[in-house]
Homo-oligomer: A and B are copies of this chain.
Amino acid sequence: MPRYALKVEYQGAPFAGWQRQKDQPSVQEAIETALARLEPREHRINAAGRTDAGVHALAQVAHCDLMRDWDPFRLMEALNHHLKPLPVAVLDCAPVADDWHARFSARERRYLFRVLPRRAPATFARGQVWQIGHALDIGAMREGARHLIGHHDFTTFRASICQAASPVKTLDEITITQVEGLSGAEIHFRLRARSFLHNQVRSIVGTLERVGAGAWEPDAVRRALIACERAACGPVAPPDGLYLAGVAYPDDPFA
């Protein structure tokens, strides 16, 4: 059976997350249902990252096994046709080897977290940003974030329900920038690692927000990290601002 990698964009709000669930809409189910319109049978697809309820993706990667040899462009068009009107779009399809796996072959995940600091309610980006009513000190947040880069025990920044075998991860990048958006200046957090713990990005962003607001000293991030206990974490940021922004593979199937 030919295997295909799919690059997928979606809004998180209408879904209980990526993963198929009983009685709740999921992105996985939406795509599997579209696949069943092309090749009628039960489909099971795998994704690089199981995004939580409300979390968005700019470039989630999944793979599926099909019976027919599909032209990648026609496969993309057919899936998008059947996904309408859901806010899920297949951006690219590519044939991959039988042993290629969207999750296990991945070497790096990138996340984007958007914060809109303004009083007036978001109109265009509603549900697509974390809106806060105060300004954020980017310099202070960068100083706090510096402590998290590298190989650490991230127990503080891990959901209690996290199923990862170990809380030790290597965080390769946290970049914090101000970006001019349609609705004014946004703060963008970009995080990059081989893999992340459950709620790690939202826990880190929520903690750095406290630093940006002036409630925490930048050094408090270091102390929270070395405490290695969940209670030392700042408030967890809401899912609205979080996007799975990309997944890297040794051989990029979409290159």
Contacts and interface: CB of A to CB of B under 8 A. Distances in A.
A72 B193 CA distance: 45
A77 interface: yes
Interface residues of A, number: 28
Nearest to A123: B87
B89 A120 contact: yes
A102 interface: no
A194 interface: no
A77 B172 CA distance: 41
A227 interface: no
A76 interface: yes
A88 B56 CA distance: 24
B124 A11 contact: yes
Contacts of A58: 182-183
Interface of A: 9-11, 56, 58, 76-77, 80, 83-84, 87-91, 118-124, 126, 128, 182-184, 243
